[in-house]
Structure 1
Amino acid sequence: MKSSIRAIMLFLTVPIVCSFLLPSPSPSPSPNLSLQLQAASSAAKTAKVKPLDPTAPAPLLSQNPPMKIALLVEPTPFNYVSGYSNRYNEMLRYIKQAGDDVSILTTDDRPSPPTSAFGYPIATTLGFRFPLYNHVCVTFDLPELKGLRLMEKFRPDIIHISSPGFLLFAALIYARVMRVPLIMSYHTHLPHYAKEYLGYIPRIEDFAWFLVKFAHTRADLTLTTSPQIKKEMEGRGIKRIDVWRKGIDTVRFDPKFKSVSTRKMMTDDNPSDFTLVYVGRLGAEKRVMDIKPILEKLGPKTRLCIVGDGPQASELRREFKGTNTVFTGQITGDSLSSAFASADAFVMPSDSETLGFVVLESMASGVPVVACNAGGIPSIIEHGKTSYLAEPGDTDEFVKYLEILRDDKEKYEDMKRECRKEAEKFSWEAATSVLRNVQYPIAMQNFRSRSFGGYGGVRTAFLGRVWRIKFAWLVKKVKRLVTLGFFRDWWYSGEEEKPKELGQ
């Protein structure tokens, strides 16, 4: 009985195995596998786009032909004042000049959100206020799935998503389902914020890094806003990173906006006092409270003006009550330009800046800065020449550099000129040109070089092609097995030609 079972199993197994191992006897043989692999190998050797050196001149803005870009961004940069907002608005301004087509998806729960920017349509999906920072609206793009409908209709060449956020998780799915290259730009240093707001949770910083790595290892290219953040992310094992060049509007921020009336407002009508300014979001992570002991040590002839709004605004007003401090709230346009240019020095106590646009804006206004030697700020400031860097939380060091600016008039005037000169090196047109002509093509290139529609590692596309060819060959063999084709091949193996009625 056992021998009969073995014979039957052998009878069934041998033809099945042979049907997979032996080539098909088709009169029109399939393309040779080695030739296909050779072609794939030669295609992989084509010229590649390489990252541009940070000091290299930018290419012409319209060097590459127009492309279709899906921009998914949260929080909205259209009702939200910050350096982050400036970057996206300036990007769109020059992308428009290059002739690219952009479709924008964001979330905005304010009344009558904008429906277009620079001639590009803005789609708004349902969102919610983030509990730990309720000044911004974020979204998972649920239940509307507007992003997916946008992709199906618009068919973009590339998806650009801001990070960190919740919308990026939807973008990851959309990019892979639609098989579109994905570029992420990293604007807020999530691990630092997690430590600042949720430090009471054990290992919260490590968890934040896990989330950052989970998302960004799935991008075809990550853009950071400073070399320092790029280096830190690379140290955490995140690959395919480049720096989105900084830019500054040197027309909007200029020493010519210096105003006597603005200075009087900023100093409670004491314009002759040494005047400090802080411009930015008022949140705990910005460490604005660190300025209070600095102000007290500089003495009664020093004034402070705080420009901006945020979740810590009420607390800061209480803490600074009784000091020489003026709060203006959030201001924009010429009033903001004038607030920068009318101060004597800018104080930046934050150690969480991925770049620090307000530092560049102050320098463009001809106002020296004393800032934290942390995050992306050291990439902006040449210590002792264009401004000063102090260690985070070191009150005495901040005071020392501010006293130099106050007391050494010759040094102060030299530094004002150097500030403006340094800021004039950067333009938004150059930053956008590198983005669309170098960094977008690199992301597309990385996508093509990864197997399984972008899921595999870099330089695995060749293996992916091999896998697809072998899989197609395997499917063909399974089809022959299911249709008992191997019996037909065996039956007619001794004949030169098969009967016409069998379809040959």
Structure 2
Amino acid sequence: MRVAVVSESFLPTVNGVTTSVRQVLDHLQRGGHEAIVIVPSTGAPTSYAGFPVFGVPTIAYRQFPVGLPSPQVQRLIADFAPDVIHAASPFLLGAQAIAAGGRLGIPSVAIFQTDVAGYARRNHLGAATGFAWRVVRWIHEGADLTLVPSSASMADLEKAGITGLARWGRGVDLVTYHPRNRATPATKALREQIAPRGETVVGYVGRIAPEKQVERLAALRGVGGICIAIVGDGPSVPYVRKQLAGMPVSWLGKLSGPDLATAYGSFDMFLHTGTEETFGQTIQEAQATGIPVIAPRAGGPIDLVDHGRNGFLYEPGNDSQLRASVQALAADGALMSRMGEAGRRAVLPRDWESLCDELLGHYAHAVAGRAVPARRSVIANRR
């Protein structure tokens, strides 16, 4: 299969969209498929997994490169003549790729990864919320298929009147993130640094940005016998540092690969704070490591955390529930162990190989909905 992957985010930016796209490209390479990658140009590599990477003009927004509309996008797609377009978290760049596919007769699969409703609520957009959803409908109605990662996202999109929806979650690296990491020398050394008196370690991993609401960790102020470890970076670091001033917090910065796996291994529990996650990849990574998760009962975490079995869900904004959940786990080591083991079991079927095989099935479904001879004829005429 020939796939044009168009992503609003790619290396060197590391986030959930980039991780997902890289896993898809690695899977396509292992399966002998052909692909091109179209991304914002700032710092992007020229190739990945043996596939050419093409950068388009970019502007910066909140430390993120944003790809701008460019006639180069349609030319690249027409010249490559893919069987399908994969639009990852489509916005300006992805919308142009989907529209180009429509003109060229090429089916497109859009991956929904932005909680528009949550963003609108947090920023008190009021009447602008309706406009935001009209933009989302305009983008996704052009796609042959929109894949959504959670039941909450599915409900939001159905409510907005968007059709052609199917569920597709995210895989997790079950080898890199593993309970055995908790016993490595590197993990033991990090724990001694974070919790020198044997405190219970409450960990967070993710971007430090307004939508992540990391400042909610302040609800743990005064809880005895715990310390906090924060992995990540972003524009809200100064604000969050101020809100957590005087608390036992270790700021570990942005980590990846084995260093990130070691950080997860040093945690006793994982605390997710944001209410706008369409999925929650870091939750799966924590579960794969064998640690219980505490998260708000909102968005993606609802599907990932089985309340009372592999962690706790607290009502969004309810700091007393958040605090009580942490205290309950910190006071019961056996409960932490049972919940951690249950979390690991829950993610075992979600390896990236299985999820990417499922994605190929979605590609085939989108392709089957188009007349291939007619599509090839349109592409030939456009050249």
Is the shorter-chain TM-score for this pair beyond 0.5, marking a shared fold? yes
Deviations 1:288-311 (A, max 9, x none): 111112x21423x21111110111
Residue 411 of structure 1 and its aligned partner are, at CA, apart by 1.8
Alignment counterpart, residue 162 of structure 1, candidates 84, 88, 104: 88
Corresponding residue number in structure 2 for 1:6: none
> Does the CA-based 8 Å contact 1:195-1:204 persist in structure 2?
no
Letter in structure 2 aligned against 1:241? L
**Please, what is the CA RMSD of the aligned residues?**
1.8
- Structure 1 residue 187 corresponds to structure 2 residue 120: no
Look up the match of 1:97.
30
2:181 to 220, 233, 257: 257
1:4-51 CA distances to partner (integer Å, 9 max, x unpaired)? xxxxxxxxxxxxxxxxxxxxxxxxxxxxxxxxxxxxxxxxxxxxxxxx
Tell me if 1:305 matches 2:229: yes
Deviation of 1:248 (Å): 0.6
Question: Which AA in structure 2 matches 1:169?
Answer: A
Alignment partner of 1:72 is 2:3: no
Consecutive unaligned residues of structure 1, counting only runs of 5 or more, are 1-66, 454-504
Question: What residue in structure 1 maps to residue 266 of structure 2?
Answer: 342
SS of the aligned residue for 1:160 comes to: strand
Q: In the alignment, what sits opposite 1:52?
A: none
Deviation of 1:265 (Å): 2.8
Secondary structure of 1:219's counterpart equals: coil
- 1:263 deviates by 1.2
User: Which residue matches 1:128?
Assistant: 59
Could you say what secondary structure the match of 1:371 adopts? Answer: strand
Which residue identity is paired with 1:118?
Answer: A
Unaligned runs of 5+ in 2: 376-383
Q: Percent identity?
A: 27
2:318 counterpart (366, 376, 394) = 394
- In 1, the alpha carbon distance for the partners of 2:357 and 2:267 equals 33
Matching residue of 1:245: 169
Q: Is the 8 A contact 1:68 1:102 kept in 2?
A: yes
Select which of 29, 41, 50 maps to 1:108.
41
Question: Structure 1, residues 317-358: CA drift from partner, whole Å, max 9, x if none?
Answer: 222221111111111121110111111111111110110000
Confirm or deny that 1:286 pairs with 2:212: yes
Q: What aligned pairs does 1:6-405 form with structure 2 within 5 A after superposition?
A: 67-76=1-10, 78-110=11-43, 113-130=44-61, 134-142=62-70, 145-197=71-123, 199=124, 201-258=125-182, 259-267=187-195, 269-270=196-197, 272-293=198-219, 295-299=220-224, 301-405=225-329
Does residue 441 (structure 1) correspond to residue 364 (structure 2)? The answer is: yes
Residues in 2 aligned to 1:384 and 1:375: alpha-carbon distance in whole angstroms: 18
Q: Is residue 220–residue 447 contact of structure 1 (8 Å, CA) maintained in 2?
A: no
Q: Which amino acid aligns with 1:125?
A: V
Q: Distance in 2 between matches of 1:330 and 1:350?
A: 18
1:457-468 matches, cutoff 5 A: none
Aligned 8 A contact 1:364 1:419 in 2: yes
Say whether the 8 Å CA contact 1:347–1:369 is kept in structure 2. Answer: yes
SS state at 1:298 partner:
coil
Q: CA deviation at 1:162?
A: 1.7
Question: Aligned equivalents of 1:330 and 1:160: distance in 2?
Answer: 28
Determine if contact 1:281/1:310 at 8 Å carries over to the other structure: yes
Which amino acid in the other structure matches residue 338 of structure 1? T
3-state SS of the aligned residue for 1:402? helix
Letter of the aligned partner of 2:48 in structure 1? A
Q: Distance in 2 between matches of 1:221 and 1:290?
A: 36
Please name the residue that 1:485 is paired with: none
Counterparts of 1:99 and 1:397, CA distance in 2: 49
Once residues 104 and 337 of structure 1 are traced to their aligned partners in structure 2, the CA distance between those partners, rounded to angstroms, is 28
229-238 vs 363-372, which deviates more? 229-238
Judging changes above 3 Å, is the alpha-carbon distance between structure 1 residues 361 and 187 closer, same or farther for their aligned structure 2 residues? same
Superposition deviation, residue 108 in structure 1 = 3.2
SS at the partner of 1:410? helix
Partner-residue secondary structure (3-state), 1:425? helix
Aligned length: 370
* Cα deviation code 1:51-93 (max 9, x no counterpart): xxxxxxxxxxxxxxxx1111110122x2122232221111111
- Letter paired with 2:105: R
Q: 2:268, 2:336 within 8 Å by CA — same for their partners in 1?
A: no
Give 1:136 shift: 0.9
The separation in 2 between residues aligned to 1:327 and 1:410, in whole angstroms, is: 28
Distance across 1 between alignment mates of 2:240 and 2:255 = 18
Moved over 6 A (4+): none
Alignment check: 8 A CA contact 2:3 2:82 kept: yes
Which residue pairs with 1:499 in the alignment? none
For residues 270 and 100 of structure 2, what CA distance do their matches in structure 1 show? 43
Secondary structure, counterpart of 1:121 in structure 2: strand
* Counterpart code for 2:111: S
- Aligned pairs for 1:422-437 (under 5 A) are 422-436=346-360
TM superposition score normalised by structure 2: 0.92
Instruction: Quote the Cα distance in structure 2 between the aligned partners of 1:164 and 1:312.
Output: 25
- State the distance in 2 between where 1:232 and 1:177 align: 28
* TM-score of the aligned structures, taking structure 1 as reference length: 0.71
> Residues of 1 paired with 2:307 and 2:17: CA distance?
24
Tell me, yes or no, if the aligned pair for 1:71 and 1:160 is still in contact at 8 Å. Answer: yes
Alignment partner, residue 479 of structure 1:
none
